[in-house]
């Protein structure tokens, strides 16, 4: 297994892991904004930058994004060298200019000594930090209903042509993974609205609660061999039913 040194601490990492995970496993914190265990790493926010060197490199080092850099035997890693700290500050300064009113960005910037951006703040503040978590989870689910559009300061996350996305099934995965709460939705027992698309809810036959959308149930039907009727009862009623079965089995006399 690769043996490396992170901030002076010798770490034996699991084969095939990335530096970010190796640091976390060793109790070393590296700030991140675009990383989530549910999706593949993407290297978008650049906050997780670290310095990597080797004894034979004669003092030369390179900066890498730790969420995408596979661990290597013998490397020396610094998560808070002067260069790393300064670069992270620039990243946060720029992010604060884009999202000056976003609490998550304000807090992270303040932790790095930045109370206000040194760049011209975005005249149309947004809470979208362009971390790409929403589009990656949507791709992972196979729906790919939203994507990033435009370039530069106009870059945004949106459905195609800003219209109700035909492929969206209303699962809310994008909204739930979004770290800033940028993705808005309404969800009740009868209807759900997200990305300007309205969905009818599938009601649990036992308690009557609308728990997933009908589009979700249709989309999941037959995938991985799970039939549509599996999705009809809500999770709470399924658990209650299973608990009742378990209790009745335990109460049954042995041998019957
Ligand atoms: S909408 Fe949320 S999850 Fe998607 S890129 Fe923006 S901040 Fe990230
Ligand atoms: S967490 Fe590595 S680039 Fe965002």
Final residue before a domain boundary, out of 39, 60, 80? 80
Task: Using a pLDDT cut of 90, give the percent of the chain over it.
Answer: 82
Residue 116 lies in a domain: no
In the block, tokens 């909204």 appear at: 175
126: left (phi over 0), alpha (psi -120 to 50) or beta: beta
Angle at 93 between CA 87 and CA 95, to 5 degrees: 105
Residue 57 has pLDDT above 80, yes or no: yes
Are 232 and 140 within one domain?
Answer: yes
Residue 188 pLDDT exceeds 90: yes
Judge whether 200 lies within some domain: yes
Structural domain includes residue 248? no
Q: Does the residue 85 lie in any domain?
A: no
Ligand 1 atom 4, closest CA: 134
pLDDT in tens, 207-233: 999 999 999 999 988 777 777 778 888
To the nearest whole percent, how much of the chain has pLDDT over 70? 98
Specify the residue with its C-alpha closest to ligand 1, atom 8. 131
User: In this structure, are 141 and 237 located in the same domain?
Assistant: yes
Distances (CA, A) of 242 to 70, 212, 231, 233, 236: 43, 20, 15, 12, 10
Residue 44's Cα: distance from chain center in Å?
A: 12
146-171: pLDDT as tens digits: 999 998 888 999 999 999 999 999 99
**Range(s) of the domain holding residue 210:** 133-243
Does residue 99 have its Cβ closer than 6 Å to ligand 1?
A: no
User: How many independent structural domains does the chain possess?
Assistant: 2
Ligand nearest to the CA of 67: 2
């Amino acid at each position: 297994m690769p043996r490396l040194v992170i901030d002076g601490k010798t770490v034996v990492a699991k084969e095939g892991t990335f530096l970010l995970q190796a640091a976390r496993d060793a109790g070393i914190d590296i700030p991140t904004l675009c990383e989530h265990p549910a999706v593949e790493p993407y290297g978008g926010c650049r906050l997780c930058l670290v310095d990597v060197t080797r004894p034979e490199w004669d003092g030369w080092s390179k900066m890498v994004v730790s969420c995408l850099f596979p661990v290597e035997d013998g490397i020396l890693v610094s998560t808070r060298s002067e260069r790393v700290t300064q670069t992270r500050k620039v990243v946060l300064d720029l992010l604060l200019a884009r999202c000056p009113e976003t609490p998550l960005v304000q807090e992270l910037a303040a932790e790095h000594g930045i109370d206000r951006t040194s760049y011209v703040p975005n005249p149309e503040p947004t809470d979208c930090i362009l971390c790409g978590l929403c589009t990656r989870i949507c791709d992972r689910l196979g729906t790919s209903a939203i994507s990033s559009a435009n370039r530069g300061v106009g870059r945004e996350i949106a459905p195609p042509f800003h219209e109700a996305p035909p492929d969206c099934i209303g699962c809310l995965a994008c909204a739930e993974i979004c770290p800033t709460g940028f993705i808005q939705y309404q969800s009740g027992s009868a209807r759900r609205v997200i990305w300007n698309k309205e969905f009818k809810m599938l009601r649990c036959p036992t308690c009557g609660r609308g728990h997933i959308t009908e589009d979700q149930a249709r989309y999941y039907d037959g995938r991985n061999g799970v039939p549509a009727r599996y999705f009809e009862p809500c999770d709470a009623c399924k658990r209650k039913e299973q608990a009742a079965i378990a209790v009745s089995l335990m109460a049954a006399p042995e041998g019957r």
